[in-house]
Structures are given as C-alpha cells and as structure tokens.
Chains A and B, each alone.
Chain A
Amino acid sequence: MYKYVIKRLLLLIPTLFGAAVLVFLLLRAVPGDVCQLRLGGGGEWIDPVALEQCKIQLGLNDPLHLQLVDFLASFFTFNFGESMWTGRPVAFEIGLRFELSLQIAIMATLVSIIVAIPLGTISAIKQNTWIDYLVRTISIAGIAIPSFWLGIIIILGLLITTQAWTGTPWMPPIDYRPLWEDPGYNLSMLIWPAVATGYRYSAVATRMTRSALLEVLREDYVRTARAKGLLEKMIINRHALRNSLLPVVTIIGIEFAFLMGGLVVTEQVFNLNGIGKLFVESVTNQDYVMTQSLVMLVVTIFVLVNLVVDILYAVLDPRIRYS
C-alpha cells in the first residue's frame, strides 16, 4: 500500500511535466500576445514603441526555451510569478477566487449527493417500472441540458416570476460577498449555479447508484437476508446501500475534481468571479503566466483527486489490494 502510494506519486511527475510542456506550447502557438491586447484591446491605435517595451518587460521577446525553463522552474519552486495582465502575483489572483469556486463545487456536490442517492436507490428497487423510467429520464436530462442554456433560463425565469408575483423583478446578486460576512446574500447568489451544476453532475451519480445497488441486490448475502425474512427496507438500508456506496463515492470524487475546472461556462452565465471566469479571462487576455498556472492547478487537482479516490478504494474495500 505504502509503496503503491509512493509509486503513484512519482508517476505524477511525468504527467505534470507533460501537461506543462503542452500548455506552454499550445498557448504560444496562438497568434497575438497580451501586449497587443492591453495596448489596443478596444481597436485603438497602438504606439509601436510602447508595444516593444511592453514585450521586453514581460519577457515575451526572450527565446522560447528560456521562457519554458522559467515556467518550469516557477512551477517546481511554487513561485508562480505575476499575471501578465494585472501585474499582481498569480497566487493572489487565484486565492481571491478560489474560495468562491470551492464553495460552489462543495454546494454542487452536496446537491448532487442529495439528488443522486435517493433517486438511484428508488430507481434500483423499482427497476423497470414507470418510477424507474421517470427517474432515469430526469437524471439523463441533467446531462443533456447545456449548462449555459439552463443558466439563462433560470435567471430569466427568476426575473419574470418575481416581477409577476411581487411587482419588482429580482435576480441573484452579481457581486460576491463571503459566506461568513453576509450568509443571506452569499447563498442567494450561489444557490442557483450550485443547483444548476449539481443537477447536471447528479445524473452520473444517480446512474452509478442504481447500477451498483442492482448488482449488490443480487449478491448471495442479500438473498440470504431475504430468505431470513428481513424487511426489504432493512435490507436496502443496512446491507445493500452501504455496500454499493463505494463506486458512488468514487464518481462523486472524480466529479468534484472536474467541477473545479468545469465551472467555466456556469461562472460566465451567473457572473461569478471564480476560477472558471479567471480562466476564460486569462485565456482571452493571452496571459500566459496566469493561464499556465491555472491549467497546472486544474491538472494537479485532477490527478490528486484520482489518486485519493484510488487509495480510498483500497481502504474502504478490503478485497482490493494494490501492489
């Protein structure tokens, strides 16, 4: 086990290195640069002298291999440098938005658990009845609805219904206040994107709960329990559900990792100042330093969560032994 963890951690190094080189090359393959955007982002005339100075200042004129070495060094020494757009430290810019994205990711995960486990369970118990079909339809619709579209519909729905009921239109706040400062304001802003994303991510978890439960329900010990005349409710709660939770935990874990990088569109629609919006901004600004750091953050979270999930698997299920 111990050896396995070490081995997996070592294997992270080539993955991260590969991702770093890939993002580095991809960003520079895109024509244009942050200086052109900063000096003429509104279509204005650009002073060529100023343009050249800006490039020199940001190191854009350095040879490519030097830029790559700089970037790799910055990543492995945890000194990510300054955003090319704002000039502020990358760690500061990310830290500022991390709280919001983390809160939504947690809230969305909670929503998806609250939705998925009961629905998946009902669906499995009532397999191939209309309840099952209904639940599956609802959960698959979650994957099918484009999140940007759902966002538009939610905001518009809120505006129209509140105006119809109260006379004054209401929409979620568009600027963030931390949970501990103003919980009402905070939640009234974040609950909508959390529900929209949580619903989407619950679809996979519902399906997983259903099929895992179905599998467990056919195990011998469940049959034995039934033969002993135990109540079906008891069988489900005491035996089956608990044993089928493992793959569900896995799926939720992996989704959480995806969520941190996957809020891009939702944050746009609800005007949330989180990691996703920062990501889109830095990509459109061609802010190499910021984008590289964000990509590495997302990739790192992704591989680490994957690792933790695999280890959890081993801890929770004694049948699995890694070597």
Chain B
Amino acid sequence: MKTSFTRLAMTAGLGAAVAAGGIVAASAEEPKQGGVLRIVVGSKIPSYDGHRESTFGMIHPIRPFYSLLIRVNPDDPQSSNFICDLCEGDVPTATNDGKTYTFKIRQGAEFHDGTPLTAHDIVATYNKIVFPPEGILSNRVSRFAMVEKISAPDDFTVQFDLKYASPGFMPMVATPFNFVYAKKDLERVDPEGKDPQYGMKWHQNNINGTGAFSFVEHQPGSHVLGKRHEKYHHEGKPYLDGFKAISAPKMSVRIQAIRGGRADIEFRGFPPKSRDDLVKALGDDITVQESAWNCTFGYAGNQTKPLFQDKRVRQAMTLALDRWGASNYLSKIAIVKTVGGLALPGHPLATDEATLKTYYGYWPDIEKSREKARELLKEAGAEGASFKIWNRAVDQPYKVVGTWMLDQWKQVGLNVEQVVVPTGPWYAGLRDPDAFDVAIWPSCQSVVNPIVDAGAWISKERAADNRGYYTDPVLDEWYDQMNREGDPAKQAELYRKFEKRVLHDEAHFGQVLWWHKINPHRSFVKGWKIAPSHYLNQSLDQVWLDVPDEERKQRTMDELGG
C-alpha cells in the first residue's frame, strides 16, 4: 500500500506530461529482465569512496553499487525535481523557517552484505561527509557549511538542522557522490590494530552499499563488474543481471567500441561528428540522446596583469567572439553548442535570448561587434596586444574551442598564442596567478543549482577557483543577497543583475558556449534517460536490454558465469 501511495504522490508532484509519458512507455514496452550492460568509461577510479572523490570516472562504475538519500528523478532527469531514493514518500520541505529538514527512511532496504538499513547509517554517512574527523578527506565540507547537526530521532527518521535557511541545501543532498554507507562499516576496527581511522577509510578500497548492483570485481585499469542486488529497495529493479564498466581513456577507442559492438553505451558524451558517423554506419542500431550540459566553457583574463585590469580590454575580448556563428559551426565538431549566460540554458534562471543579445559578445551582428572591439582596444591603448591562452591538453572541447578563440581574437588584431599543458600542470598553473595570461575556465556541476554555482564568479578572496583573480565587492554582496532571498522573483532579479555585471559591465568572465551532451548508444539499451550532467542518473536500476532472450542469457554467462 505504502509504495503505491508513494508512486501516486510522486507522479502528481511531477506534472502531467511526465506521467503521461511514463504510462505510454510502460504500455508499449515491458522491460525485460536479465543481461549485462557494457559501458566504456574514459576516466579513472581514484578510490571507491564517493565522499572524497569528484570525478565521473568513479561515478560511472561505482555509483550503481550505492544509493543516495534523494536523487534526481531517473524518469525525468532534465527537471530539477528530486525524488526519494532511501527516504520514503515525498522529498521533505523545510520547516522551522527553512532550517529543519526531516526525512522518513524507507524500511526493508538492505546492504549487499545483508545488513538492514536504518536512519543511523544515514546519519553516520552524512556526519562523515559534513563533519569528517581530522585526517579524513571529504570533498564537500564547505558546501555543506549551512548544516548544524544531523540526528536520528528514531530508527527510521533523519533530521538535518541548519544554521541558516539555504536554497543550496537540498541540491547538495542530491549530489550523486553522497553514497550511503553502513554505520557498522564506518566503525570497523583495524584487524591489525594499527589505524584508528580504519573504518572511515574502509570504503576507499571496499564496497558495501544498498545500490542496485553488488560488487563482483575490479581489475584496476581494465574494468569493474557488478551483479544484480536481489534485495534492492526499488521493487522489481534492477532489470539487468549485471554491468561491466570497461576503462577506455582514448575517445577514439570508446567510439570504436560502440561501433564494433564491444560496448553498448558511454555516459560522458561524444562529439557531434562521431554521432553522425555512428548513425551512418549502424543506422537504427544506434539511438542518440542529446541534452544541454551543465558545464560552462569560458575564459578569464588574469586581472593581476595590467592588460586585463582595463575593463575595455576585457569587453573587447568578449566582443570579438562570434558566439552565434560558433554555436552553428563548432557544434558540428565539438561538444559545445548553446549560447547562454551564467545559468544553464533552459533553466528558469537563464536569461532570455533577447536580453542576452544586448550584452557585449552576444550581439547578433558580429561585424559591428568586432568594430566595437577594435574601438575599445584603441581607446585602451591595447591595439595588437599580445597574450597567451593557458589551455588544457584535452581535445574535447578544450583544444578545439581554444584554437577557435585564438583565431577570433586575431581577427580584432590581438596577437594571441596558445599554451597547451597536461591536466596536472594546467590546474597548478591556474592556481598560480603568475603562470598565465588568459585561462580557459570550464566548470562542470552535477545537480543544476545556478544560485549556489554563481559562487564561482565572486571575489578571489572568497572563491578559491576564481581564475580571473579579481575582487568585486558588489558581486559578493549580490551573491549573498540572492542566496538568502526567499522570494523567487526577487532572487531572479538579483541573479540578472549579477550576471550582467559578470558578463557585460565588468566582463570579468567570458562565457563562450555551453557544453552539449551527446550520447549515441546501441538502440537495445532501454530505460536510461540523458541528464544535463554526466554525474547524474547513473544508478542504472532502470536500464534494461531489448535483445533476444538467448543473447541476454549469453551475456550473463560470459561476464558473470553460470
């Protein structure tokens, strides 16, 4: 009874369109049980502990072993709505002036080792994430700064008490790295008696979750294998018998793997040209899903250098970029597409196109725009100024777009070179204001949360990753105001002001194009819906394989044995 009520409430909450879609899908195609899904993953697994990591290289292979407290709706991953994963009923709303959130925890969920899940496991998990003991790494401590206390009033209730109301709280809870661990695992004692924090570190090298799949094996550098968790708390799921995540660092190998039937799907994204090639070669055997991608691709002039302290130079730089044109032609070869401001295009906070077109760098007439750029450079006495772009040795989209930007700036007479360095030294350079002139500044976030994410563009004293090295108290004030603002309309208004100052008035940051996520996969992979982030919707519990029964059996035999 309880579950059916939950579903009903969920559907009602989500709106008619999604519900209708869900019904149609259900009547048309009944998910088939069995088989093993083969994924190719382009990045590496640093450790199994989601709390300390931040790469999709561990989300794609490891996330299916774990559950979250709440998650992005797998049936509608494009929306900003969250649904319960380990909690029960509707996602709670805040009480106590926005300072208390109370979650009812689902009964009957079980860890892979048979331990039943209780509220205490969730409290232990979030205490590790929010208040890690000395010597334990947690990558999200600062973003959970609003949390005062986490407690379990009873075995199936968890309560979060906040220091102040914050719109950033729930999206942080839904962050896909917040794997729920068992309290008893976190309290494990070192059998050798050496490490007092053994339990807190146990998950770095061991896996025990409540996710749809349980861990079978990990061959470092090669693959991760998981098999169906029979006691999974979402009834009837997962559909798959297992999954195999194969490591393939080279983009061309990943594309070929799907082309040659060695893998079924890749979850990060392929270039548009490869999508076309795959469709051309395999026709109906390939299904393409596309989405705007919650990753900005921009740049910033380093304002510790005199040239970029002049805002006319910064404005000229943004004016020189033909964004509308690039959106058209770069999107044929690179994983960028959408022209937009600071918020993910399509999000309620995103600026409408008409307003956007009045900002520097977004004018529809590129010739006029370049003329203005030359004029500003002349005024600033910076005609033919020389600088270098500090770029990362990754093709998509860094080098492709970087090389394009270089060409654009040359067209207004700037003398630009590009320095491309491997990932490690690149980050190190970004953290050293003496190392670079103009930084490529991308930012990929998981849950779409523009208000909190705007924190990237406030003063360098407060934003550790401010690549422009500027100080702008006005932005800081507006940022704090909009984060405390309860009225969505006023919040949006503040966001508009904030955005215009960053992109146009001060031109601190040049948003070039938003990334565009393209996932061409084998058509028999069903039940997976593309999210606006490669971190989201990766529990794989909804995925099934629409292939003949024998093939599903064969796959299970091949990968998991009898």
Contacts and interface: CB of A to CB of B under 8 A. Distances in A.
Interface of A: 30-34, 36-50, 53-54, 57, 85-88, 93, 96-97, 152, 155-156, 158-159, 163, 168-171, 173-176, 268-271, 273, 277-278, 281, 284-286
A174 B426 CA distance: 30
Contact of B221 (A30, A37, A152, A273): A273
Contact of A44 (B249, B253, B282, B444): B444
A243 to B, nearest CB: 45
A194 B445 CA distance: 42
Nearest to A56: B135
10 contacts: A33-B424, A36-B424, A41-B57, A87-B47, A159-B256, A159-B259, A169-B261, A170-B260, A268-B250, A271-B257
Interface residues of B, number: 64
A86 B256 contact: no
Nearest to B177: A44
Nearest to B252: A152
Interface string B143-177: 10000000000000000000000000000000000
Interface stretch (B37-45, B304-312, B501-509): B37-45
Nearest to A170: B260
A31 B223 CA distance: 30
Contacts of A40: 54, 427, 465
B424 A39 contact: no
A46 B261 contact: no
Contact of A168 (B44, B46, B261): B261
A30 B43 CA distance: 22
Nearest to A32: B428
Contact of A284 (B54, B261, B424, B429): B424
Contacts of B252: 152
Interface in B249-286: 249-250, 252-253, 256-257, 259-263, 281-282
A268 to B, nearest CB: 6
Contacts of B263: 174
A56 to B, nearest CB: 8
Contacts of B11: none
A86 B135 contact: no
Given A46-B464, A57-B135, A285-B44, A170 B261 contact: yes
B248 to A, nearest CB: 5
A80 to B, nearest CB: 15
Given A174-B257, A175-B222, A273-B221, A38 B262 contact: no
A31 B432 contact: yes
A42 B54 contact: yes
Contacts of B220: 86, 88, 93, 96
A171 B142 contact: no
B424 A271 contact: no
A50 B139 contact: yes
B222 A32 contact: no
A97 B221 contact: yes
Nearest to B225: A175
Contacts of B281: 163, 169
Nearest to A49: B141
A186 B219 CA distance: 16
Nearest to A41: B55
Contact of A41 (B223, B244, B423): B423
Contacts of B223: 175
Contacts of A87: 47, 204-205
A85 B260 contact: no
B466 to A, nearest CB: 11
Contact of B56 (A42, A88, A163): A42
B442 interface: yes
A285 B425 CA distance: 10
A45 B465 contact: yes
A152 B221 CA distance: 21
Contacts of B435: 31
Among A31, A33, A155, A271, the one with the most B-chain Cβ atoms within 10 Å of its Cβ is A271
B442 A277 contact: no
Given A43-B443, A171-B259, A53 B137 contact: yes
B9 to A, nearest CB: 34
B221 A278 contact: yes
A175 B558 CA distance: 13
Nearest to A277: B221
A285 B221 contact: no
B553 interface: no
Among A38, A54, A87, A93, the one with the most B-chain Cβ atoms within 10 Å of its Cβ is A38
Given A50-B139, A159-B260, A271 B464 contact: no
Contacts of B424: 30-34, 36-37, 284-286
Given A30-B424, A93-B220, A46 B260 contact: no
Nearest to A53: B137
B246 interface: yes
A155 B256 contact: yes
Contact of A50 (B141, B244, B250, B295): B141
A42 B259 contact: no
A86 B52 CA distance: 12
Contacts of A170: 260-261
Contact of A273 (B46, B219, B259, B428): B219
Interface string B411-449: 000000000001111111101100100000011110000
A154 to B, nearest CB: 11
A31 B425 CA distance: 5
A25 B135 CA distance: 28
B428 A47 contact: no
B524 to A, nearest CB: 14
Contact of B260 (A50, A93, A169): A169
Contacts of A49: 141-142
Interface in B205-236: 205, 219-223
B250 A44 contact: no
Contacts of B247: 271, 273
Nearest to A36: B427
Among A32, A46, A159, A169, the one with the most B-chain Cβ atoms within 10 Å of its Cβ is A32
B262 A41 contact: no
B248 A271 contact: yes
B53 interface: yes
A285 B220 CA distance: 14
Given A41-B43, A44-B54, A96-B219, A33 B428 contact: yes
B522 to A, nearest CB: 12
Contact of A85 (B44, B137, B442): B44
A46 B9 CA distance: 38
Contacts of A85: 44, 46
B474 interface: no
B120 interface: no
B221 A50 contact: no
B66 to A, nearest CB: 19
Contacts of A97: 221
B444 A36 contact: no
A41 B281 CA distance: 34
A193 to B, nearest CB: 12
A32 B204 contact: no
Among A43, A87, A93, the one with the most B-chain Cβ atoms within 10 Å of its Cβ is A43
Contacts of B422: 284
Given A57-B137, A173-B262, A277-B249, 20 more contacts: A32-B429, A38-B55, A41-B423, A42-B43, A43-B442, A44-B443, A44-B445, A47-B140, A50-B52, A50-B137, A53-B137, A86-B47, A87-B47, A87-B204, A158-B260, A159-B259, A159-B260, A168-B261, A174-B263, A273-B247
